[in-house]
Amino acid sequence: MSMNEAVLAAPRVAVATARPATPDALDAPNALDTGIGHALDALLAQQNADGHWVYELEADATIPAEYVLMVHYLARRRT
C-alpha cells in the first residue's frame, strides 16, 4: 500500500463546522468537501503507479532577467 493509499484509507475525523439552520441546507452536500474530493480524484488519477507525478516544468524568466538588468544598470551608475 502506498503512502497516499494509506492516508486515504485512514478514518476521517469529523470537523465541527457552522451550518445553516434550514433543513434544506443541512441535507445539501458541502460544496467545499465536494470540491476537495474532485481535486483529490483528479490528482490521484494523474499519479504514477510508484507514487510520483510528472509534469512539464514551467519557469518565468522575467524575474531573473529584471535582476540581471538591474545589476547591470546599477554597476554602470557606480562607475
Q: What is the pLDDT of residue 20?
A: 55
Q: Which residues contact 8 (CB under 8 A, 6 or more apart)?
A: 40, 44
* Residues spanned by the domain of 62: 3-78
Under the banding of pLDDT at 50, 70 and 90, the label for residue 59 is confident
Number of domains the chain contains = 1
Of the chain, the percentage scoring pLDDT greater than 70 comes to 59
The phi, psi pair for 20, rounded to 5°, reads -65, 155
Mean pLDDT of 15-26: 56
Q: Is the pLDDT of residue 32 over 60?
A: yes
